[in-house]
Structure formats: C-alpha cells, structure tokens
C-alpha cells in the first residue's frame, strides 16, 4: 500500500497523536530522500518494532555549505514512495522548505559541541549544527517515538544520541548496521555521482577499513600502526583523495593514546568531486 503523504506539520501531528492516544508506538526514519536499500533497512527495522512507521523526506538546506551540492542533490519522490511502501512505511512526511522554516533564515540552532568539532565536523564546519537543528525540529514534530539512523554516518549518530540525552527529548535513538553493495561499498545516495572509474575505485574505503581492522587485532597494535595500515591502501589508489582516516574511541570520537577493548575506524575520501564516508567497529576483547 502506498504510504499516505503529509506536507504540513499540523496534519501530521494530528494523525500521530491519534495513534499514540490509542496506545500505538511510532517508529520514525528521517531521510533526505533518494532512498536506497540502506534506508529500506531502517524502515524495515522500524516496521518490526512499532505499530506505526513514518519516514520523512526533506533535503535540509541548513546542513549544506554554500559550496556543496544542495541544488544538485538527487530527488525522486515517486521512486522514494515506492521503496518506502515496499519496506513497510505507513506515512511519508514531505514538507517544503517554507513549511519547515516559515520565517526565512533560522535564528535558533542546535549545536552539540566537542562531538561535532572533529573529523566530519572539521571538514564541514556547519554540517552538524544543521543536522542537529533539523533533527531536533523533526523530533518535536513527530513526537515521542523510536528513531532509526544508519551507522554509516557514525559521527552523526553520536551527535544525535548526545543531543537527545542532553535535551531530554522523548525519543529512543536506534542505530542500524551499514548496508553495503556486493563489493563492499557502503550504500549512499551520493554514489550515483560516481563515474564508472571512480565507482570501481571507491571500494578503497572499505579495503582501508579492512586493513585497519586486521591491524587492530594484531599483537602490539596501536593507533599509529592501524592508521599506517589504512593509509597504505589509499596510497595505492590514485583516484582517491583522502580527507581523513582515524582510530577513535567510539564514545568520545577522540583518538585514544592506547587501544581499548573496542575501537572505531573512520574514513572519508573524495572520488572525483564526490565525498564518501565509511567506518567500522573493531572488537578487540577485554
């Protein structure tokens, strides 16, 4: 069944409040559209644990810097609606920019300090404030719910979890595993920008993570040796321009002096003009 679409905040709130009043639990999947099976996995996870499932599709201008691809960001609402229906969504929230930001320039923003300031935050300084602001607004619109996010955007997930905890927002944030193409490339709406040559080279991100994970499990491993193993993979791929790679503590996103029982490996790189990110968790034992 095709999900019912809502364009206004007031209409959506009435319907979701009615469901909660009858005892239903709401699952929410915020997206920027141009859905792929990674988004589908989030909707399916929401479907399995909730009575009502809503996905939002909103290309949020606040999280794009002036030199980024807001105008070119892919959009195909009918295609998105079909994928959302197949995955089990009941409703789609598809607001306009004017509906979300009716007074023009936004004067109130949400910023999660520290967690937002390194890695992707250093490369895209305004990005996480835009993400936190729109997600907090969406949480206020949707109301109490479980919200599902992909672990591919690991830093974003950490920022949202901390925002929810710090502001006592009545939302349970659920992280879901990365969905990958058969060759290991993490699914992303931006993959469509890749040329055939860059698409073939893009697996360097996953190969770098695999090399880092293998290094992390070896005797005497430390952050330097892991990052060296990851760097060597990039050095052998001339089509990739590395933005950053890092070994971090998954809770703080800071580079540890010594490895703990769990470490997170992060990587970001350009293939042509397309910037891709990926990550993996390495369990090292106690």
Active site residues: 39
CA distance 155 to 159: 6
Residue 209: partners with Cβ closer than 8 Å, 6 or more residues away: 230, 265, 267, 278, 279, 280
Residue labelled with tokens 């880092």? 212
Is residue 92 within 8 Å of 84, Cβ to Cβ?
A: yes
Concatenating the DSSP letter of every residue in 48-80 gives: HH-SEEEEEE---GGGS-TTS-TTTS---HHHH
Closest CA to 150 of 265, 37, 74: 37
Tokens of 187: 């699914």
Is residue 90 within 8 Å of 53, Cβ to Cβ?
A: yes
What strands, in cross-sheet order, belong to the sheet with 4-6? Answer: 4-6, 91-93, 52-57, 26-31, 145-150, 171-176
Residue 11: partners with Cβ closer than 8 Å, 6 or more residues away: none
Closest CA to 64 of 132, 128, 149, 3: 128
Tokens of 202: 């893009």
Q: Give the CA distances from residue 128 to residues 71, 74, 181, 222, 245, in Å, rounded to whole numbers and listed in that order.
A: 19, 21, 27, 29, 19
């Amino acid at each position: 069944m095709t999900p019912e679409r809502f364009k206004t905040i007031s209409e959506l709130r009435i319907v979701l409040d009615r469901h909660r009043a009858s005892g239903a639990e709401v699952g929410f999947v915020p997206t920027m559209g141009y859905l792929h099976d990674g988004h589908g996995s989030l909707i399916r996870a929401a479907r399995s644990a909730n009575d009502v499932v809503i996905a939002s599709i909103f290309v949020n201008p606040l999280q794009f810097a002036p030199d980024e691809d807001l105008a070119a960001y892919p959009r195909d609402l009918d295609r998105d609606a079909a994928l959302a229906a197949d995955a089990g969504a009941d409703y789609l929230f598809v607001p306009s920019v004017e509906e979300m930001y009716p007074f023009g320039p936004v004067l109130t923003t949400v910023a999660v300090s520290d967690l937002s300031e390194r890695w992707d935050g250093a490369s895209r300084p305004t990005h996480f404030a835009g993400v936190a602001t729109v997600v907090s607004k969406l949480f206020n619109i949707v109301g109490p719910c479980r919200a599902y996010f992909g672990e591919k955007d690991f830093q974003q997930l950490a920022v949202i979890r901390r925002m929810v905890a710090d502001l006592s927002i009545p939302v349970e944030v659920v992280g879901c595993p990365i969905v990958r193409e058969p060759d290991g490339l993490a699914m992303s709406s931006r993959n469509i920008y890749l040329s055939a040559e860059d698409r073939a080279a893009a697996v360097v991100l996953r190969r770098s993570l695999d090399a880092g994970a293998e290094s992390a499990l070896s005797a005497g491993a430390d952050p330097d040796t892991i990052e060296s193993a990851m760097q060597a993979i990039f050095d052998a791929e001339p089509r990739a321009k590395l933005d950053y790679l890092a070994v971090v503590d998954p809770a703080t996103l800071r580079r540890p002096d010594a490895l703990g029982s769990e470490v997170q490996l992060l990587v970001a790189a350009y293939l042509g003009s397309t910037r891709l990110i990926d990550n993996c968790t390495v369990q090292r034992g106690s």
